[in-house]
Structure 1
Amino acid sequence: MTVPRLFCYCLLAAAPILQGCDALFGSKGDSTTEEIFEQGQTDPTLADDVGYVPLNPSYSQGLDGAFDRPVDVYVGYDEFVYVADAKGLHVLDLAGRPRELLTEVLGQPLRDITAVTQDRRLDVYVAARRDTTVAGADCPSGGNPEQCDLAVVYRIRGLTVGAPRVVDILWHPFDDGSRRLTRFELPDTYAGGTSDEDAVFTGVSPLADNSVYITRSGPVNTTATGRPSQTFSPFNAFLQYTASGDYVQYIRALSPDRPSLLSAYYPSDVLTFVGPPQRASVSLNPDFLIAQSPPEAFASPTYGVVSVKVVETTDGIEYRVDSQRLGAAGNPDAGDGALFEAGQFSRVSSLGYAADQTGYLFVLDAGKDSLFVFNQAGIEGVAPPPGADSSLPVRVSFGGTGSGPLQFSNPQGVAYYNRIVYVADTGNNRISRFRLNTDFE
């Protein structure tokens, strides 16, 4: 399958720009310069307290110029940085140099991207939207009800080697197994004027075996909001697919319309505990986190993030509240702040995981323009440095509205790789990068 695409390759004449840099940064062979070009400069005026410091410069350029409202970022197993914005999908190297840009998929613009990630096969998943014609459909967005604008998840292979091809497309509603072979299989319009065009895929997260969890959000969830049958999965749903893209199930245990510790209430992202780099031994943990972020007209849920344990029993698989992380919130001796503190999040847009010995969890709150950092147990903070007076986690969450180096404007995506946190700072049209000051040698 051939993918129409835009690839731009450019060689920049960097020599004139770099003349005279030895005096400022040191010679190109010394350790100072290596640190600057590999990790970025840091602000020398920052305090010595434990915390995240910005790496300069932030990434703001793709092959065709400045980013246009980047909505997600992911650093893959192939060590490339994937940035999704209004132009399409950008690929950068770890130094921030633009490599490729994908703007079209199978003859249509790659548009309205909401999430990007990569599995261990190096296949790239992109949640977006696509037009299609469906005989017998009832789609209200255009003049022809059979012309539909639907949510999709593309699985793309070979992107970074210049030969991208679509391996699979997951469509709403066609790949929702709860609707197959029923009268609800085609896109339709429901009570109140809502339709299948209102469904959005908001998060994709692979597991060790390359199967994937996908979150979907939208208004059709109860009889009152137009859901025609209990066999018909709600738009607010946690979906599971095999590595080959076959539908497994939607998790009925997660409430679509009542926010709780076991719900998928307008989910905005999903997180599994697998991530780059490639390694011989990987976590087989099937547990997951879900971010809950209803439209602004709705009240924020008490818990903007829920942690779910997947437990095998003699009666089958059960989905349970993560009692360990929940219990941490009620233990003041464990630290100051916890993932399950009631009401602490406003509008969670993205989740990230440090797939290394730290196991840190990152919660990006677009409502507060802030990044929250938790340890694996769900206590806010990071490990204290050697010799610290206390063994309790040190709080390092930061943010605030603005364009400063530690501020954000409606941030929508967070990722982690090799001790560096990447944030898609949407309103500031940049990918900001941060590193703990205790991680510098």
Structure 2
Amino acid sequence: MTCLAFSSATCATLAQPMKMRLIPDNCFPMKRPPLWFLLPLLLLTACEGFFGRRTDTDFLDIPDYSVRPVAYVPIQPTWDGLVEPVDVVAGWDELIYVADAGTEEIISFDQAGNELGRFSIPGLTALAQDRRLDLLAAGTRDTVIGNNSFTLPALYRINLKQPGTYGLEQAQVTRLLTHPYYFKAGTPTAAEEAVRFTGIAPLADNRYYLARTGPSDNPNQFGGPDDAVLLFSADDVYISPVAVNTNLGLFRDYVRQPASISSLAQPPQSPAVNPRGDFFFCSVQEDYLLKVQLIRRVETPNGASYEVENYPVGDTSKADGFLYQPGRFTRPADVTFSGDGTNYIFVVDAARDSLYQFNALGYEGANPPAGSASTKAIKVSFGGTGSGLTQFRNPQGVAYLNEIVYVADAGNGRVLRFRLTVDFD
């Protein structure tokens, strides 16, 4: 394992006070819009968290929609001014972090949308935060080996906690893992230079999974196939690739072309954080019928085993769509899980320009509101190609915090926020 220390670039100031921008009453239309997606312009202000006190949001009225009583409301303003946001993360510090591949920067925001700081990472592709509040960023590293120049995949550990301060302004890279040197030595090959890290999924105990993809699919090669999910210790020590047990046997190459990965350990911080080692992954392998799957980590007397979760499919009395419905996705770019006990699963599909929501049983939709006569999941997925408030162009990331869904809308250079109508008090 190669470990290097770096000083951070100077970033924008972190310690800005949280702001609440109220929308004047005359900004709201006096009549009900004819369609559910013509929604009032709403602004969510910061909620109680690492840096502030809860802001009263009682001024936000509950929208009234006769066509879709349970639907996602776009929250204004959109977070514009980005170039190519390819990931968005809800931090354990209750800040929001965006990976902008266009500027190769991590950008931090409070929940009101105030920018707090920036930090440069070359070749930035994915982002995560562990429970110690360190950021883990997937990018690249330029290096010279044997008089030859290489641009290699790299994982950066970024410490946000410095004496007397916290955030990206004074952050430092404290460790750098470079492919393939976390598991082997020697001069890298052209195939190893073509590998990319596509997702990071921290666990409750700060171990983490790293999704990797590349040109070599040999399951017997040293270090496992390029397409793999790798397990690392909390101290960034490589443990092993994940092999998955199925009815047909044990596969070291079960995960093909992973585009993203997410564990069940999600904010907010609490004793109820899911301690299991389960993870969701998205695959863009064309011949995969199930492109988003949950892999369960099962502890046995002989050690840990990884098995595919079997979600129900087809019972239309329960839902109109299903996570494991064959062909449900075309090019899923990201997946996340709500850590507040609602246990929702969110997926963005870059090819379909859509956001999908599923409940804990894999039924597409939101649970019916209290007092409802029906137990059927209510479909709230939406999208379509465009730049409207409920449209996307190549969405690449999704995050969830405090009943708000965040989408990294890469093609439109923005982050969009949404909230369910039933979540307005």
Correspondence list, 1:146-157, <5 A: 146-157=148-159
Q: Give the 3 Å change call, closer, same or farther, for CA 171–52 of structure 1 in structure 2.
A: same
Which of 377, 382, 398 aligns to 2:361? It is: 377
For normalisation by structure 1, the TM-score amounts to: 0.80
Determine helix, strand or coil for the equivalent of 1:132: strand
Q: C-alpha distance in 1, partners of 2:276/2:144?
A: 40
Greater percentage in helix: 1
TM-fit CA distance, 1:261: 13
* 1:409 corresponds to 2:393: yes
- Contact 2:202 2:263 survives alignment (8 Å): yes
Give yes or no for the alignment of 1:9 onto 2:13: yes
1:360-439 pair list within 5 angstroms: 360-439=344-423
Would the alpha carbon gap of residues 10 and 302 (structure 1) be closer, same or farther in structure 2, given more than 3 Å must change? closer
CA contact (8 A) 1:261 1:303 kept: no
**In the alignment, what sits opposite 2:171?**
164
User: CA 1:10 to 1:37, structure 2 compared with 1: closer, same or farther past 3 Å?
Assistant: same
- Paired residues of 1:130 and 1:150 also in contact (CA < 8 A): yes
**Which amino acid is the alignment partner of residue 69 of structure 1?**
E
2:116 matched residue in structure 1: 99
CA contact (8 A) 2:62 2:421 kept: no
Answering whether residue 260 of structure 2 is matched by residue 245 of structure 1, we say no
**Unpaired stretches in structure 2, ≥5 consecutive residues:** 29-40, 47-56, 161-165
Q: Conserved in 2, the CA contact under 8 Å of 1:52 and 1:434?
A: yes
Listed one character per residue, the Cα deviations across residues 249-280 of structure 1 (whole Å, up to 9, x for unaligned) are: 0123389xxxx998211001111001111113
Shift, 1:204, TM fit: 0.1
Q: Does 1:313 align with 2:300?
A: yes
Whether the 8 Å CA contact 2:290–2:326 is kept in 1: the answer is yes
Q: Structure 1 CA distance, aligned partners of 2:11 and 2:222?
A: 44
Instruction: Give the structure 2 partner of residue 67 of structure 1.
Output: 82
* Corresponding residue of 1:118: 129
Aligned to 2:217: 221
Deviation at 1:25, TM superposition (A): 6.9
Does the aligned pair in 2 maintain the 1:289–1:306 contact within 8 Å? yes
2:87 maps to a residue whose letter is D
Shift in Å, 1:21: 6.9
Instruction: Give the Å deviation of 1:44.
Output: 6.0
Aligned to 1:278: 269
Distance in 2 (CA, whole Å) between partners of 1:353 and 1:343 is 21
Query: 1:431 and 1:287 mapped to 2: Cα distance?
Result: 28
Distance 1:34 1:318, change over 3 A: closer
Q: Report the Cα offset of residue 43 of structure 1.
A: 11
CA deviation string 1:333-376 (max 9, x = no partner): 43221110001100010011110121100011101001110001
SS in 1 for 2:294: strand
CA contact (8 A) 1:262 1:306 kept: no
* Residues 187/76 of structure 1: CA separation in 2 closer, same or farther (3 Å cut): same
Number of matched pairs: 385
Q: Could you list the per-position Cα deviations for residues 163-220 of structure 1 after superposition, in whole angstroms to 9, with x for gaps in the alignment?
A: 2111211211111x3xx26xxx43113xxxxx21110000001000000001001111
- 1:340-351 paired onto structure 2 within 5 Å: 340-351=324-335
Please name the residue that 1:301 is paired with. 288
Note if contact 2:292-2:324 (Cα within 8 Å) is conserved in structure 1: yes
Runs of 5+ in structure 1 lacking a partner? 27-32, 61-65, 104-109, 136-143, 190-194
Partner of 1:90: 107
CA RMSD between the two structures? 3.0
Q: Percent identity?
A: 35
Aligned CA distance change for structure 1 residues 312 and 4 (closer, same or farther; 3 Å): closer
Could you say what secondary structure the match of 1:240 adopts? strand
Cα deviation for residue 10 of structure 1 reads 9.4
3-state DSSP of counterpart to 1:351: strand
For 1:196, what is the secondary structure of its paired residue?
helix
